[in-house]
Amino acid sequence: MSGLRKAKKYDWKDSNMALFGSDTDKKVKKESAETEPAWKGAGQKPGLQIWRIVKFKVTDWPTEDYGQFYSGDSYIILNTYKEEGNEELLYDVHFWIGKYSTQDEYGTAAYKTVELDTMLDDKPVQHRETQGFECDMFKGYFDAISVMKGGADTGFRRVLPEEYKTRLLKFCGLKKSIAVTEVPTAKSSLNSDDVFIIDMGLQVYQYNGSNANKDERFRATQYLQKLKSDRGGKVKVEVLDERDTSEEDPAFNNLKKDRDDDDDEDDDEVDTAGVPTLYRISDASGNIEFSEVAQGKISKSMLDSKDVFIFDNVTHLFVWTGSGASIDERRNAMSYAHKHLMKSNHPTIPVTCVCEGGRSDKDFEAVFK
C-alpha cells in the first residue's frame, strides 16, 4: 500500500482550467443555479459572502473565519454593494485558488462561479485569484489575509487541544497590507525583519524580530486577541523580543532547527519582466484566431466592440468582451487567457473579466490613466 503523496504545488497550472468560460461552463442555466442550496439568499443585500468547495459541493464559510484561507482549499467570494445615490445591487465575484488545492476543488470553484454569475443575471464582474497574488480589490475586503497550511478541516476547533499541531505564522508588510502566512515550523524560518506567532494550541508566543515594524507587531497582537476569543479565553500568551530572548527559550522547544527538504517555501514571486501586451480573439475569418495587437503603450481606442481582447499588463490580466462579440469569441475568451498565462513568466497573476457597456471595473479603468 503506497503512502500519501504531497499535493502538487499550483497543480492547477497543468490542468484543464481552460474550460472556465467555455461551453462546459456556459451550459449552466439559471434554472440549474437556482437549485443550488448555497445560493439561497446570495447577493440579496450588501455585504461579503464566502463559500468553500468540499467534495464538489459549495459550503458556507463561517463569518468569523472571513479573511482566513487554507492553501489546500478553493473558495468563492461574493461582494455585494451599492454605489452612492443608486439603489441597484452590484457585485464582484472571485474564486480563490490555494496553491495546494486539488483539481476537483478549483475546477468546481470556477464552474460554480459561472453558475452564481448566471443566477445574478450576469451582473457580477468575475475575478480569478491565486494564493499570494490577490488583486488590491480582493485584499481590501479584509483587515488582513491569513493563509494556513492544509485544508480547513485541520483547524484548531476540529481537534483536541492536546492533539494540536504547532503552527508558525509570519506577519510581514506595512499598514493594511500585512500578509499572514504559515511557514515551516523551524527556527530557520524566523528572521529579524518580521513578527512571528508560535501557536502551540493553549500556549502561544509572539516573537518580534528586532527590525519588525509597528504595523506587523500591531497586526500580530490583533490576531492573538481573536485567537484567545476563539479558544474560549484559555490560551496563555507570552510576547518575546528578539534582543531579549535566549536561544534556549521554551518558545523554541517545538520548532525544528532547520526546514525539511519538502517544506513549502513562502517566497513565490511574480516575474514582472516584460511589457504590457494586447491580444485580440476574433472569428471574422471563419475560424477563431488569437493574435497580438500591440505592445508597450496600450490605449482603449485599440479595443473593438466586435471582438474580445486580452490585456496582459504583467501584473494583472483583463478579459474585455466587446458588446458585439460573437458567441464563440465569448466562450473561448477565458480559455485563451488561461493558455496565454500558462506560457508566460507570470501565470499566477489576477484575472478579471470586463464586459463593454457593463459596470466599469476600477482596476481596468485605472490601467489606462
pLDDT at res. 5: 43
pTM to 2 decimal places: 0.78
pLDDT-derived band at 150 (thresholds 50, 70, 90) equals confident
pLDDT at res. 327: 86
The three cell numbers locating residue 284: 471574422
Say if residue 149's pLDDT is above 90: no
Using CA atoms, how far apart are residues 96 and 72, in angstroms rounded to an integer? 11
Per cent of the chain over pLDDT 70 is 83
Question: Where along the chain do its domains lie?
Answer: 17-148, 167-252, 277-367
Q: Any idea which of 3-17, 28-42, 287-301 has the lowest mean pLDDT?
A: 3-17
Residues 54-83, mean pLDDT to the nearest whole number: 93
Say if residue 139's pLDDT is above 80: yes
Q: Which residue has the higher pLDDT, 151 or 264?
A: 151
pLDDT-derived band at 229 (thresholds 50, 70, 90) equals confident
The three cell numbers locating residue 84: 452612492
CB 202 within 8 Å of CB 213 = no
Say if residue 164's pLDDT is above 70: yes
Asked if 17-148 and 277-367 have one fold, the answer is yes
Using CA atoms, how far apart are residues 365 and 355, in angstroms rounded to an integer? 12
What's the mean pLDDT when you consider all of the chain?
A: 84
Domain 17-148 adopts which CATH fold? Answer: Severin (3.40.20)
Say if residue 85's pLDDT is above 90: no
Using CA atoms, how far apart are residues 368 and 44, in angstroms rounded to an integer? 33
The dotted CATH code for 167-252 is: 3.40.20.10
Among 7, 18, 69, residue whose Cα is nearest residue 262:
7
User: Tens digit of pLDDT for each residue in 178-215?
Assistant: 888 899 999 999 999 999 999 998 899 999 999 999 99
pLDDT at res. 148: 87
The three cell numbers locating residue 219: 497586526
Q: Which CATH superfamily is domain 277-367 in?
A: Severin (3.40.20.10)
